[in-house]
Chain A
């Protein structure tokens, strides 16, 4: 029942760049240098196998180094955990491995693997959890056995759940120590809503409410072969590994498919938001709105727009706010795109407290300029060239190709999405870019967030409009005396 479809897309062959013959005379100007054509390159695509129980496997042979790595990605992540138990998936992701298996404690696994310079690790993410391994070729049998034990027979011993909770509680206690973490946490809440699965954060109370039974039941609910995509890369022979996988997994029956999260997205309530951080010399300024998904037909025009607006070395934000005005070291922005939910549209900078308002003015200038001058032919051409000429870096290693292919499988994107991406960028016109700039970037719909020391600002934030002050106090643990 094994389907042996080859990765369907036609091999990506790089088109020829400028084709003038190479000249080896010494150039005195970069314009005199004509690069020879880049030679044809056929990236090696991974082999896709689907087991009878639904598990999808990708095998990517890579014989450069005597190493073998594997990643099992399992559907279901923190966005699927109950609101009262935020942190569950992170605790699960740690205790899954550290809590050991039926046969061995986590500490015994550590000793066994480290003696072989090998790793088997687990982790929890937004939409999936992971079990990975990384070993020397000669240890594959030993390490794969451990990988299977962890995947199928975890024990979630209590002592390691306590440890995982210590890690989360430490993170909670320190989450206001650095203004970056405040800014990105609070801006996500503005974009998606404070209670949204895409923005909420764990609290002492939600961590305390997670019990071993929650981890066990999560495991039973999600870890089924039909929810798993397994990618293996490295120095192995595919037919031998295929045989190993059949032996390991063929008897594992299918389980129920997890339900899909259904959410609607409304974007931020426009306005000015402020969080006080009194022990800093610089303010963080962020303007945010909802972004898009990558299957949006506007994605390609957005990519071109992002390049010249806020992502490249000579982008408008970088050149005008950093290089010309000297207002910021870190500055950038663009319309973010995710695979299966809207990304974040964001403009970000850090500036000294006494130029906070000046920096907001500078952002506003750039947003206003988009109305009158959304793009120039030069910006469009340079951005497209930059994206297309660097296209090769999207698949310049076998692991990168495997990772991309696993993403497309996971999110239900076409296997040849990368090829579509290039064709999509090539087709972007000036009208497209101007249209998406008007369609997605609205100055009056943005939420402006400032984190900093208000007393040192050049002008009060209220000079821009009514200010909502955010309470970022960390709710103390239950029963704690103040």
Chain B
């Protein structure tokens, strides 16, 4: 793993007296502390030694999210993520031999019910009620074998903290932290949940996930973003909500979830990253022993669908009693594109803090927004994605005013070079921001696994900063002119039916 070239660079940096960024925490130091190994079954393991305290954190990154879902099964990747907390054939059951049969009965009963439920013509309501009852009775029988939430209980009882998981439009992640003497228990639990998952309480959990969707629906931003994405994407699955459409959450089956899991949860799509008070030469054999049991499967072929170029502006307008929100997005290349660092620089310049252009225009000077910003890489990174701007207006101001002010700043970016000071600030901040991400096991485990998954190399965390260092004023104008054009734009706004009245203006500055 080690590369002598970096030691030479390190030495050189001391000679030229640049100490702040090249001290103990540069790529060279991480090269020494990081071990990467690809197991025989294709699973990638990253171990980063950091002995601050006798604990470690991990992330399991799986290279699939809702991006492989098609109509009818939206929300399924996220559903599997929930099932990965339901235990195995040994965890969460008091008698797996009998439970297995009971779960098969649940699934048969559900299929029969669902087939009748979705019959468009000639549906027999009496029969449907019987099938519904049979399905629910089967669930009640299966419930007898369940030891509730035992997987989480074992983690917590043994000192685990922060047990959680997430699903995005392109990946799924599982994580928690343990005291450092629990490496073997962790390796057992984390491999077993993917080796022998049991989809118990599937249809109860589907209800839970639907409740999760409803909580999202309660938030005006989420309502708006769902419509925004569905409008901005006509072909690519980025347009589908990760949590799934309501009809699909009421329809998809345990069989569907098993098929998705079997196809996409292959070791070649999984990266396990461990960071903390561990020694690679001690933990790697343990990890290999447990995770090596996952059966090899073919890595799924890459997604075929590519979003076609947008040819006209699209607008979503929602009328609500909630106060106005403005967002707009522009299609742009994936994070693997050579211009990714340029977009990152644009994001920093436009929206990082009180020196940012959007803050100074919309919040400080025009006083039409309380918050505003722009971010690169929505809703993901793996595929061509969007650069999104947003503004939250102050009372009495409309999203139209926000839009015009954002557009004025975009035009400035396209037509004028940014200043030397701005460019230098962006570069200095990129380096410091990287440093600020390195002092935490959990954050590091996420970053390393994410970079490994997206770019095939954890070193990209460091190289990204080098790429930002190379960004020129011309790059920024070039990218802004290529991206921020009307035909490539999708706007989404909440226009308030009860716009708040602006309080009388305070004393204005002299």
CB within 8 Å of B: which A409-438 residues = none
Cβ of B439 within 8 Å of any chain A Cβ, yes or no, is yes
Does the CB pair B25–A64 fall under 8 Å?
yes
Within the assembled complex, what's the spacing in Å between the Cα atoms of A209 and B264? 60
Does the CB pair A397–B429 fall under 8 Å?
no
Q: How far is the CB of B182 from chain A (nearest CB, A)?
A: 5
Find B55's partner among A116, A173, A318, A393 (CB 8 Å cutoff). A393
Does the CB pair A37–B507 fall under 8 Å?
no
Cβ of B364 within 8 Å of any chain A Cβ, yes or no, is yes
Does the CB pair B503–A477 fall under 8 Å?
yes
Does the CB pair B424–A279 fall under 8 Å?
no
Question: Inside 8 A of A106's CB, which chain B residues have their CB?
Answer: 354
Number of contacting residues on B, CB 8 A? Answer: 97
CB within 8 Å of B: which A360-406 residues = 382, 385-386, 389-393, 395-398
Within the assembled complex, what's the spacing in Å between the Cα atoms of A227 and B393? 38
Find A161's partner among B152, B205, B323, B506 (CB 8 Å cutoff). B506
Q: Quick one: given A166-B370, A170-B392, A208-B506, are A319 and B149 in contact (CB under 8 Å)?
A: yes
Does the CB pair A137–B501 fall under 8 Å?
no
Does the CB pair B188–A173 fall under 8 Å?
no
Q: Quick one: given A313-B153, A313-B163, A477-B504, are A36 and B208 in contact (CB under 8 Å)?
A: no
Does the CB pair B54–A30 fall under 8 Å?
no
Within the assembled complex, what's the spacing in Å between the Cα atoms of A39 and B183? 13
Q: How far is the CB of A206 from chain B (nearest CB, A)?
A: 11
> Which of A73-81, A147-155, A325-333 forms part of the interface with chain B?
A325-333
Find B159's partner among A28, A161, A392 (CB 8 Å cutoff). A392
Question: Inside 8 A of A104's CB, which chain B residues have their CB?
Answer: none
Does the CB pair A281–B90 fall under 8 Å?
no
Cβ of B94 within 8 Å of any chain A Cβ, yes or no, is no
Find B433's partner among A66, A117, A166, A171 (CB 8 Å cutoff). A117
Cβ of B487 within 8 Å of any chain A Cβ, yes or no, is no
Number of contacting residues on A, CB 8 A? Answer: 98
Does the CB pair B504–A282 fall under 8 Å?
no
Find A323's partner among B148, B436, B503 (CB 8 Å cutoff). B148
Within the assembled complex, what's the spacing in Å between the Cα atoms of A326 and B158? 27
Does the CB pair B152–A313 fall under 8 Å?
yes
Cβ of B428 within 8 Å of any chain A Cβ, yes or no, is yes
Cβ of A476 within 8 Å of any chain B Cβ, yes or no, is yes
Cβ of A204 within 8 Å of any chain B Cβ, yes or no, is yes
Q: Which residue of chain B lies nearest to A16 when distances are taken between CB atoms in the complex?
A: B181
Does the CB pair A282–B54 fall under 8 Å?
no
Does the CB pair B506–A162 fall under 8 Å?
yes
Cβ of A138 within 8 Å of any chain B Cβ, yes or no, is yes
Does the CB pair B20–A38 fall under 8 Å?
no
Find B208's partner among A39, A41, A329, A390 (CB 8 Å cutoff). A329
Q: Which residue of chain A lies nearest to B151 when distances are taken between CB atoms in the complex?
A: A313
Question: Inside 8 A of A33's CB, which chain B residues have their CB?
Answer: 184-185, 188
Within the assembled complex, what's the spacing in Å between the Cα atoms of A221 and B310? 60
Within the assembled complex, what's the spacing in Å between the Cα atoms of A26 and B355? 56
Q: Quick one: given A110-B354, A163-B364, A397-B440, are A389 and B157 in contact (CB under 8 Å)?
A: yes
Q: Which residue of chain A lies nearest to B364 when distances are taken between CB atoms in the complex?
A: A163
Most buried by B among A37, A39, A114: A114
> Which of B67-75, B102-110, B214-222, B472-480 forms part of the interface with chain A?
B214-222
Cβ of B201 within 8 Å of any chain A Cβ, yes or no, is yes
Q: How far is the CB of A156 from chain B (nearest CB, A)?
A: 12
Cβ of B505 within 8 Å of any chain A Cβ, yes or no, is yes
Within the assembled complex, what's the spacing in Å between the Cα atoms of A325 and B139? 11
CB within 8 Å of A: which B128-171 residues = 143, 148-150, 152-161, 163
CB within 8 Å of B: which A167-202 residues = 167, 169-174, 177-180
Cβ of A479 within 8 Å of any chain B Cβ, yes or no, is yes
Q: How far is the CB of A475 from chain B (nearest CB, A)?
A: 11
Find A165's partner among B54, B208, B440, B506 (CB 8 Å cutoff). B506
1/0 contact trace for A85-103 toward B, CB 8 Å?
0000000000000100000
Question: Inside 8 A of B393's CB, which chain A residues have their CB?
Answer: 170
Cβ of B209 within 8 Å of any chain A Cβ, yes or no, is yes
Within the assembled complex, what's the spacing in Å between the Cα atoms of A411 and B435? 33
CB within 8 Å of A: which B1-34 residues = 19-21, 23-25
Does the CB pair A208–B432 fall under 8 Å?
no
Cβ of A240 within 8 Å of any chain B Cβ, yes or no, is no
Question: Inside 8 A of A390's CB, which chain B residues have their CB?
Answer: 156, 159-161, 179
Q: Quick one: given A178-B219, A282-B217, A352-B214, are A115 and B188 in contact (CB under 8 Å)?
A: no
> Which of B232-240, B284-292, B407-415 forms part of the interface with chain A?
B284-292
Does the CB pair B90–A41 fall under 8 Å?
no
Does the CB pair A177–B285 fall under 8 Å?
no
Q: How far is the CB of B73 from chain A (nearest CB, A)?
A: 20
Cβ of B53 within 8 Å of any chain A Cβ, yes or no, is yes
Does the CB pair B149–A314 fall under 8 Å?
yes
Cβ of B91 within 8 Å of any chain A Cβ, yes or no, is yes
Does the CB pair A204–B503 fall under 8 Å?
yes
Within the assembled complex, what's the spacing in Å between the Cα atoms of A382 and B158? 9
Does the CB pair B150–A314 fall under 8 Å?
yes
| Complex A-B: 7 CB contacts under 8 Å | A30-B90, A38-B180, A66-B25, A166-B394, A313-B152, A323-B149, A350-B218
Q: Known contacts A110-B353, A110-B355, A389-B179; can you find 14 more A-B pairs with CB under 8 A?
A: A24-B184, A64-B439, A166-B367, A170-B394, A173-B395, A178-B219, A208-B506, A282-B211, A282-B215, A313-B155, A326-B208, A327-B211, A329-B209, A390-B161
5 closest Cβ contacts across the A-B interface? A313-B152, A389-B159, A326-B207, A117-B432, A173-B500
